[in-house]
Chain A
């Protein structure tokens, strides 16, 4: 198909509707309203279900109900709205039904602002709702990548009976880029052996997240964990740029990774041997690959639009073996490539120590910037 100019949110919505989405339930919140608006026109046109819910609580519980029937279902929201959905997400995880969540992050905490941010990495990657569960989280860095990940997200959710989240920020949601959308595929309701559809000609089915007997709940937790281990083994995605001969490597996801790539290219042009590692699955995080890279390079520079949330995963992977430096912008501020280039130039020259505290050192430099 031809490449067309699409806004990120609309492209995501259209891509979902082309890969078999049967129902969307959502609530308005900036910067993801265009997904809701697109669905409100598109899904009824296709004879599928759309409801603008009374709240994010309502929306996620509508998703929960529809997911229990085995239908392809999704919702989308942004930071404060995702917080409200955490209750339903925990229930959905505990009931082991598939769904896709598009999480368009904005600046926080609290009401924050509507600018692009990555401050909800921990919230979605590390659970958010109560109980032991792990959503699968995919972090695209462009509109095309987000579109390409939509069918992947549904397939992963259905394969592992889990929540699959597309984690982007307001900039990817709202910028326009040339994209190639998938072909329209017919809706194919899978005949899941657990789906509640009415007990016609078969024993009744019950879907619930309640296991009153603790040993039964423990078995459920172990089942979730085994599935998660399989996801960790089989579903890791990441991209590497200029890592083969790199002296050190920048690590960033989503928009921060994309801005960092511009800086890495500029640094290469100046002869600095720097590479970029951009995780696409941020949950599960590619710990093993990061650990392998740590054996080959002298340092990592982690760049994020938050206060070092993914940094913690990188530190876990590196386990003190090489120095890690950090550069973050907060509260909806997007770093310019020049800023990251300066950081790359600094790291290239600096005498680094694996014992240094990357957050403390970054904050000292930040205080100069923010002043």
Chain B
């Protein structure tokens, strides 16, 4: 008798480390991609039950609604300090922060630099979309020269507003940093590379090898005033030349990791 049921070949599902909540992110924004990659890695490594996430102030302020793990919500920029406090009393937990460029590279510059310098055994996901998304698209420390934002209406003038900060390069100079890389989320090949970096970063923490950070170049269609597709292209053409992708710090013990 012929069956009417075709055997299911499941090729895509919601990561178990996600809740059922729909995200509040704008259409076309790459935060959703970054969230998903993190959740997939937590699933693959079986880490969710001992993970504590630290949400930032910015677009990802409600990240705790989307991950099915314990979570805390930090003050603006202070996530690495809060993560330090958690990790020091729960050294066997997995602690990650998820921060935007205003949070990490501006108001939280002190906290991120010193967490890296101490070799704090935490993982940082740094979403660089070259503006303050949540507050409506103001100039960020990562805003490109000449880039128009709501607080650099004629384009960022480096004479008066200074130059963008390359965080991955900067933190890579610190001895406490074990793994610091920059990836991009603008196409599938780069998304796969980003996921691999996220995996390595969590492996670094799980093996207590030191501070890890994955910087992810991301889009902000709403505030860039571009369509989602145009945004991906703009990222590739404008951001990558200024923020080159690559491995800025891979400590010898990390280089030996076989994953």
Contact = CB atoms under 8 A, between A and B. Distances in A.
Interface in B80-96: 81-90, 93-94
B198 interface: no
Given A53-B114, A199-B68, A210-B61, A62 B73 contact: no
B73 A210 contact: yes
Main secondary structure of the interface of A (DSSP, over half): mixed
B54 interface: yes
Interface of B: 48-52, 54-55, 61, 64, 67-75, 78, 81-90, 93-94, 110-111, 113-114, 118
B82 to A, nearest CB: 4
Contacts, number: 131
Contacts of B78: 57-58, 61, 64, 87-88
Contacts of A59: 81
Contacts of A22: 89
Given A67-B85, A199-B48, 11 more contacts: A23-B89, A57-B81, A57-B111, A64-B74, A64-B81, A65-B81, A69-B89, A198-B93, A201-B49, A207-B71, A207-B72
A127 B15 CA distance: 43
A204 B85 contact: no
Given A61-B74, A61-B78, A64-B82, A204 B110 contact: no
A28 to B, nearest CB: 14
A208 B74 CA distance: 8
B111 A87 contact: no
A275 to B, nearest CB: 45
A55 interface: yes
Nearest 4 A-B pairs (CB), nearest first? A65-B85, A61-B81, A208-B73, A65-B82
Interface string A131-167: 0000000000000000000000000000000000000
A96 B89 CA distance: 19
A93 interface: no
Nearest to B118: A51
Nearest to A58: B81
A288 interface: no
